[in-house]
Amino acid sequence: MSIDPAARAGHLDHPPRMGFFTDTSVCIGCKACEVACKEWNAVPEDGLSLSGMSYDNTVGLGASTWRHVAFIEQAVPASRVLSLVPSDDAPHTGTGDAAEGVRWLMASDVCKHCTESACLDVCPTGALFRTEFGTVVVQDDVCNGCGYCVGACPFGVIARREQDGQAHKCTLCYDRLGAGQEPACAKACPTKSIQFGPLDELRERARLRVEDLHAAGQDSAQLYLDNPADGIGGGGAFFLLLDEPEVYGLPPDPVVTTRDLPDMWRHVGIAAAGLVATAIALGFGKRK
Amino acid sequence: MTQARARGNGTGRRRRRGGEQPMVPDAEFTSYYGRPVIREPAWGVPDVPGYLFLGGLAGASSVLAAGAQQSGYGELARVAKVAALGAISLSAVALVHDLGRPSRFVNMLRVFKPSSPMSVGSWLLAAYGPVAGAAAVSEVTGILPKAGRAATVGAAVLGPAIATYTAALICDTAVPAWHEGYREMPYVFAGSAASAAGGLGLLATHPDHAEPARELAVLGAAVELIAKRQLLARIAGGSDEQSLAEPYETGTTGAILRLAEFLTAGGLAGALLGRHSRLVSALSGASLVAASALTRFGIFKAGMASARDPKYTIVPQRRRLENVAPRH
């Protein structure tokens, strides 16, 4: 059954869990989300270079990149290009399925605000916390830059910023949510590829959308992180993808590392008990 | 209608880095321009691997100190107590130095979270450090001998936790080569710690007065060798597809870990056979200390390598999905 992360974190009377549904099938790669995020959150610039990765010069999420638009160019049969258009009207570049066409996938990635968050679990200072909206936020005045969250995140989202030595990531615009506003990226998105709202509503909307796409012949359309039974208890941010997650740089079956922690502590306990027993054995060994 | 699979086409596929010729062909997988899926932990070298080694050396030295004190090996007990204090002090320096904001290290004691091995470790360190310090200071100065003996026992109870919690620290991450080895890592670390502490005792004490150190070193080295073999056998997965043992076995890291294994085995043999020779005992002890440090560096580097290459994240997850629900 679905976990209520805000209630579990002690928010007794809390607003509904808010999140993102990113429908990549209508993303046009404009990067307005990247810009709006940087502007609103005053995230510093983190270098300009040409990556050679299609139109993606942002490359990935990081301490100073909280929205990242991925671009994937795929060679596919020409009939697959523009397949949302009825096939009679679709312009053909060649002769039928054998001809090569290009499918251009675009997707705006963001922190998943996991129901079971590894970053939050492993943070030793309490700098990372669960908000009343069920999102996960870093407190800048508490983080001591230990870097544990960085290696714990199954998506490689959170990172340490060189300038201040602290961990940073998407806050799902905690300040805007508090004022009843939607996050900057969703506000700026011109195609409603980024949708913000109560997570329950978004999940329902996403289910209908993926059914429509399947009916339109987009068999590869799939929801990602929408399922509370998955390895992170479902994402507070989830996605509609047109190919497998790894094509977009996302892990196909992420599992929060702390699910195995009780078993880890058990083995640590046995190993430590072995050392204590060794001390006792040495003490009662051959006396000098 | 069957989906036109984009695998093998275009740029979604991983590109092989220049000229590399793998011994075993990689499992087929797709990634985003060969970029890593997860991020390497923001942990530096030599700070963090050094911390893993020194914490182990300190914790197991406290075990040795209590055992030696109880069985009347006074000189060895003194060496072990001083070693424990020295190692834990250096390890604390390494830990603070690795923070992005070292001046905020006290925030580690702001909360206690069993879900964070680093939080548990910080509290353990805060308890163990002063106790190990009291044991060493009392031993060297001769003041408050009864309190010193109590502190020695206390350090022998907390020390094993210091020596082994670091296994949970690195395994409780998304790093595939560490996480998947979590069942064996605590025993590797316990063995490596015991072999280092025993080794240091052999190095610093005359063999006639170092019997407990020899026993600890032999036991530790044997446990470490066996546990490491078991760890690698498990994460290799018995498959001809992508093996998670690969980052432990290839390149510089593979060479470091093979050297560590050679030194551990050599030190173990020397400690067993050279009990009447000061030179052989000392050399064996030095080998074991060096081997323990190399083992921690090697394990650290293997994990970082497995985080950098997307195949170690994607292929096992894809295999897991296909085993649970066959796709069509």
Nearest CA in chain A to B14: A247
Q: Which two tokens stand for residue A65?
A: 């990149």
In angstroms, the CA A23 to CA B132 distance is 57
CA distance A116 to A133: 14
CB contact under 8 A, A74 and B115: no
Q: Are strands A18-23 and A237-241 parallel, antiparallel or unpaired?
A: parallel
- List, in sequence order, every residue forming a beta bridge with A105; answer none if it has no partner: A72
Residue B93's CB is within 10 A of a number of other CB atoms, namely: 14
* pLDDT for B325: 61
Q: Residue range B123-128: average pLDDT?
A: 98
Q: Which of B29, B67, B100 sits opposite A145 (nearest CB)?
A: B100
- pLDDT score for B18: 43
Cβ atoms within 10 Å, residue B160: 28
Report B:69-88 residues touching A (Cβ under 8 A): 69-73
**Tell me, what's the pLDDT at A123?**
98
Is A247 an 8 Å CB contact of chain B?
A: yes
Cα Dmax for chain B = 85
Is residue A46 very low, low, confident or very high in pLDDT (cuts 50, 70, 90)?
A: confident
Note whether B217 contacts A: Cβ–Cβ < 8 A: no
Model pLDDT for residues A63-72, shown as the tens digit of each residue: 999 999 999 9
pLDDT at A77 over 90: no
Mean local confidence (pLDDT), B43-62: 97
pLDDT at B275 over 70: yes
pTM: 0.92
Interchain CB contact of A270 with B (< 8 Å)? yes
Running DSSP on this structure, what letter comes out for residue B170?
A: H
Q: Tell me if B100 and A70 make a contact (CB, 8 A cut-off).
A: no
Q: In chain A, which among 166-205 make CB contacts under 8 A with chain B? A: 166-167
State the nearest Cα–Cα gap between A221 and chain B, in angstroms: 10
Query: pLDDT (tens digit, 9 = 90+) per residue, B83-117?
Result: 999 999 999 999 999 999 999 999 999 999 999 99
**CA distances for A194 relative to A125, A258, B196, angstroms:** 32, 29, 55
Per-residue pLDDT at A27 exceeds 90: yes
Q: How far is B321 from chain A (nearest CA, A)?
A: 7
- For A13-32, give one letter per residue: b (16+ CB within 10 A) or e: ebeebbbbbbbbbbbebbbb
Do B6 and A258 count as a contact with CB atoms less than 8 A apart?
A: no
| Interface list for A 23-62 with B (CB within 8 A) | 51, 53-54, 59-60
Residue B22 in this model has a pLDDT that exceeds 80: no
In this complex, is the C-beta atom of B172 within 8 Å of any C-beta atom belonging to chain A?
yes
Contacts of B104 in chain A (CB under 8 A): 125, 142-145
Amino acid (one-letter) located at B63: V
User: Cβ–Cβ of B39/A275 closer than 8 Å?
Assistant: no
B296, pLDDT greater than 90: yes
Quick one: DSSP state of residue A257?
G
Q: Is B42 on the interface with A (CB under 8 A)?
A: yes
% of chain B with per-residue pLDDT over 90: 86
Q: Say whether A125 and B111 touch across the interface (CB within 8 A).
A: yes
Q: Which of A72, A128, A146 to mutate to test the interface with B (most CBs of B within 10 A)?
A: A146
B58 CB within 8 Å of a chain A CB: no
Q: How many CA atoms lie within 13 A of A257 on its CB side?
A: 36
A139 in contact with B at a CB cutoff of 8 Å?
A: no
B13 pLDDT more than 50: no
Contact across the interface for A145 and B32, Cβ inside 8 Å: no
User: By the CB < 8 Å criterion, does A239 face chain B?
Assistant: no
Question: Which residue would you say has higher pLDDT here, B272 or B15?
Answer: B272
pLDDT tens track for A97-156: 556 788 999 999 999 999 999 999 999 999 999 999 999 999 999 999 999 999 999 999
